Amino acid sequence: MNQKKNSGWESVGNILRRVAQELLKLFYPPRCPICERVLGPGEGRVCPECARRLPYIREPLCKRCGKPLRIREQEYCLDCQRQTHEFVCGRAVFLYEKALRRSVQRMKFQNHREYLDFYAEELTMRGAGYLRSWKPETILPVPVNRRKRRERGFDQSVLLARKVSRLTGIPVEERALVRSRYTLPQKELDARERRQNLKGAFTLRDASGLREPILLVDDIYTTGATMDAVCRELKRNGFTRIYFLVLCAGKGK
């Protein structure tokens, strides 16, 4: 009897959730995360016009960081030629340019968290082959510091990693790694200054839930300074098989 009653309440709860979702769509219709146009029925996460122009990263790629290369005969981008990175390998889905750049900036600075569903789906779909090859056991978001989290009201990497975890079934450890001090914006610094800026910026607070290989998830990859700083902290705690999957990357050379 109790089982039937519980089942009945669950059914009512599911119906109410669906009704709430439809009402939410009515008052706040979904918009394309690229151009912000209101999406029609059956248009999915992004409008057809923007879907045709999405700046996917394609071969040839840097074998280490996954940035696109101009010359097919190259194996590594200039950043990866100049320095030895701490991670094993990494990949990005999109070029960080034009409309995609504006989309990410709106998500982060205008609180468009709804874009993260589209971002997570693209990460898991376009990165599926790499995930099968790397076989990560843990997803670890690259956290922002507390000051930025308070300003924005959320940590986009944590939310993105949580959604990727749901889509892939790979467990996420969102509290294991913290950004232990405030750092200057990386875009204002050169390569040497970026590395110095991030020295000691991350602390592995709790390693008990981490299993290798580890997959780092973030929104943007540029020179790799942030990923290297995280990897150094992980390696200091005995973890060495570290990969990354990010939404966007700058152009390689």
Angstrom distance (rounded) from CA 177 to CA 162: 14
Domains and CATH numbers, the chain: 50-249 (3.40.50)
pTM of the full predicted structure? 0.86
Angstrom distance (rounded) from CA 135 to CA 39: 35
169 CB-contact burial (10 Å; exposed 0-12 / middle 13-18 / buried 19+): exposed
List the pLDDT tens digit at each of the 253 positions of the chain: 555 555 665 676 666 566 555 555 555 789 999 999 999 888 889 999 999 999 999 999 999 999 999 888 899 999 999 989 999 999 999 999 999 999 999 999 999 999 999 999 999 999 999 999 999 999 999 998 888 888 899 999 999 999 999 999 999 999 999 987 766 565 665 666 666 667 778 999 999 999 999 999 999 999 899 999 999 999 999 999 999 999 999 886 6
Among the listed residues 105, 91, 123, 141, the one whose alpha carbon sits nearest the alpha carbon of residue 33: 105
Spatial CB neighbours of 207, under 8 Å, sequence gap ≥ 6:
176, 237, 238, 239
Q: What is the dihedral of CA 65, 122, 128, 91, to 10 degrees?
A: 0
Region for residue 136 given its phi and psi (left: phi exceeds 0; alpha: psi -120 to 50; beta: otherwise): beta
